[in-house]
Structure 1
């Protein structure tokens, strides 16, 4: 099988670590995957980026898209902002419009999923009363190829301050709501006629990433007393548990198989 080339627009704070997280998640089940990492071109137009980023990532260039077999937009710690307040909103929307016209599989993660559902399908976002943060069980409402070999009531990490309007998703004939967690919040939705998946879990996170996210928030604003991640630390030794590792491998493995199948179909 030929190598599949997947673009990743990385909007996270910790870019290099996020690149590694997606690399581990996407190549654990398949080794014929090449990732091309991008950062927002307009967000950093007046800011100097560290050479460790510019040496391993490229500014987003829509001219690259025809050379890619799949595309991911990551989360971003900006879900409490209105979409119109995001300084690089136009760049994201132009990317979404272009991807929407293409047949390559698209995976939108956390804020990326929010932005895509809002721009492409008019789904509204709302701020949650408090951050949903920790490892929660997730219940399958509608099956999906992305959930193949994943049993119902599976664990996955959630870390966000916002949620999309579930009623609007259910009412939209172009969308299906696949999975909710045990707090009734989104895990996965998909488009029915297009290869678009909207993942609301940071399923790419590795064992210590919820702990690191808490520490970043605490160090930035200790006075806000940020919440600790739920259902995450072992009751035996108080260390983080990687309860979603198997789910991570299966879900991203299933998505890469979709990318492979779409490439094969395009070539036939």
Structure 2
């Protein structure tokens, strides 16, 4: 089934050229199907690039998904036009009385700033708190995963001496878990961040569990015990060239970055990049939408009290 997006969203043409099934809102309105309603809080500077990456993953599921795009503030974006933001993005006041099947909060280029020093930290906390009553399941990505674990459970991160950048091997949890259905015992995923949560701090917390981890990059997939909040420390949405773009950007800014690990052929930036994570990235989002959103959410979103209890689905 397709991802349902506004008629003129720039991502539509890109996704259709890649044979990703998308459907305009006009066409979807003529179908007698209730699509999953997913809200995306996009904190990344290049909004269109991130929209397209996430819509690729949402468009590769068997469910029809309607998407609303949310911005954290109405200040002018340096990397995205005012017309695009005003046309396709909504402010929190516009959606705070809505309920959603899912919420995705993206990463942000804030890895070296204390949470309390982030200019919109209070707003982030407000949206996270709101989501716990108005959203069936929340997917936190990279910086947002660290922010969510800190705000909801008090698990803090530490800064790394050098940016963690590359494609790392991960090991899945040995016990059966719906989120990991179809996963290989070992799989790859990209990371790009300046901070990391000590994996033992996560293990010690009774309200969360680690579902996948990397010997080099630490915890990757962390799920709250009530299954409402999913924290992914890396970037399953990244495309083949994204780490290369970031590496070249950091070089141009004189940051002397390390070469992303296990990414270029022969670890040589002059050679091709190797994408090793797309299949598991798509599977992760598909499993999340199916088992933690679609299977639990009420048909009538106005009554979240009818949501299937978490515990009844936890071990199915």
Pairwise same-fold verdict (TM > 0.5): yes
Per-residue deviation, 1:181: 1.2
2:91 to 59, 69, 87: 59
The answer to whether 1:94 aligns with 2:126 is: yes
**TM-align CA RMSD:** 2.4
Matches within 5 A, 1:174-189: 174-189=207-222
CA distance in 2 between partners of 1:51 and 1:45 (Å): 10
CA distance in 1 between partners of 2:76 and 2:241 (Å): 32
1:215 to 248, 253, 256: 248
Please report the TM-score for the alignment, with normalisation by the length of structure 2.
0.77
SS at match of 2:98: helix
2:182 to 135, 144, 149: 149
The answer to whether 1:2 aligns with 2:34 is: yes
Tell me if the contact between 1:30 and 1:256 (Cα under 8 Å) persists in the aligned partners.
no
SS at match of 2:123: helix
Matches within 5 A, 1:69-218: 69-102=101-134, 104-141=136-173, 143=175, 144-218=177-251
Deviates more, 1:78-87 or 1:92-101: 92-101
Per-residue deviation, 1:203: 0.5
Count of aligned residue pairs for this structure pair: 265
Tell me if the contact between 2:209 and 2:225 (Cα under 8 Å) persists in the aligned partners.
yes
* Distance change in 2, residues 1:55/1:103 (3 Å): closer
Deviates more, 1:88-97 or 1:33-42: 33-42
Deviates more, 1:226-235 or 1:15-24: 226-235
Tell me if the contact between 2:198 and 2:218 (Cα under 8 Å) persists in the aligned partners.
no
Residue number in structure 1 paired with 2:274: 241
* Distance change in 2, residues 1:49/1:242 (3 Å): same
The answer to whether 1:226 aligns with 2:247 is: no
* Distance change in 2, residues 1:65/1:129 (3 Å): farther
CA distance in 1 between partners of 2:119 and 2:73 (Å): 11
Tell me if the contact between 1:135 and 1:156 (Cα under 8 Å) persists in the aligned partners.
yes
The answer to whether 1:36 aligns with 2:68 is: yes
Per-residue deviation, 1:117: 0.4
**Structure 1: 5+ residue stretches without partners:** none
CA distance in 2 between partners of 1:65 and 1:234 (Å): 49
Tell me if the contact between 1:142 and 1:179 (Cα under 8 Å) persists in the aligned partners.
no
Q: Residue by residue, what CA displacement relative to the aligned partner does 1:90-122 show, whole Å, maximum 9, x if unpaired?
A: 000011111123451110000101111001100
SS at match of 1:250: helix
CA distance in 1 between partners of 2:237 and 2:221 (Å): 14
Tell me if the contact between 2:101 and 2:135 (Cα under 8 Å) persists in the aligned partners.
no
Matches within 5 A, 1:17-36: 17-30=49-62, 32-36=64-68
**Structure 2: 5+ residue stretches without partners:** 1-32, 300-305, 309-316
SS at match of 1:128: strand
CA distance in 1 between partners of 2:190 and 2:180 (Å): 16
* Distance change in 2, residues 1:33/1:103 (3 Å): closer
Q: Residue by residue, what CA displacement relative to the aligned partner does 1:151-177 show, whole Å, maximum 9, x if unpaired?
A: 111011111110123222211111112
* Distance change in 2, residues 1:39/1:114 (3 Å): same
Greater relative contact order, per chain length (Cα 8 Å cut-off, separation 6+): 1
Please report the TM-score for the alignment, with normalisation by the length of structure 1.
0.90
